[in-house]
Structure 1
Amino acid sequence: MCALFLAACAFITAPSIACGPPSFNFERRSARLSPTVDDQLTETVGNFRRASPGSRLRLTAWGDGTGTTVANRRLALRRANSVSAALIRRGIPRRAIDISIRSAPAGEPGGWVWAEVTGAQAGCG
């Protein structure tokens, strides 16, 4: 990952199916999504809509790996909430989104969010 930008990755998975990850970029120590992520958000929403009914969108977020563990986890949560809010504005039901946060190991760049769509028929278009 680039030192100036931290990636949030969206993974779409199902049994025997995996799609390439759209990437959402954050500046270091920031939870603000880049204004250039519209294509990636649209792709993530499309992948969710193609998934089977009852599929879930699981956001797993990491902080930067700098500062205290508490500050790092708060940053991870703010990043997950930024991605979640953008996806909700594009039609993903709030009730379909689960969020978990992780602390990046000290000194690791971290700073990504994985958005994993799960369901029996999840797939790529």
Structure 2
Amino acid sequence: MNIGTASDKSGLPPKTIRYYEDIGLLKPGRAENGYRDYSMSDVHKLRFLQRSRGLGFSVEECRQLLALYEDKERASADVKAIAQSKFGEIERKILELRELQHTLQHLVAHCHGDQRPDCPILETISGRN
């Protein structure tokens, strides 16, 4: 199938599919005319990559996961280690976002939001508080 059909079946834009090919995540065959010829296996890999990226895995982590997926003698411990690492990273980001939320909530609560020029939000951002 051509890239348009692979795009429709995978839900990924052609540009992303070409990018994945350029970085070696996908290696479609070539038709006699030299055009890319995507198989259902390629579409399945594209869906795998799309879901992996949707879970927050980096391109390199997706590369590792895809290699493990294709390795029928893999140890599930290897997959779990990658997922646990990502889970920890997400937990740290959530904590950082909660801290930011708390700080902004405090600043918004203390800003008068009227015609006065003084504003604790700007004072904090400028480092003058």
TM range (shorter): under 0.3
Larger radius of gyration: 2
Select the structure with the greater relative contact order (CA < 8 A; seq sep ≥ 6). Answer: 1
Q: TM-score, normalised by structure 1?
A: 0.23
Bigger fraction of residues in helix: 2
Higher strand fraction: Structure 1 or Structure 2? 1
Length-normalised TM-score, structure 2: 0.22
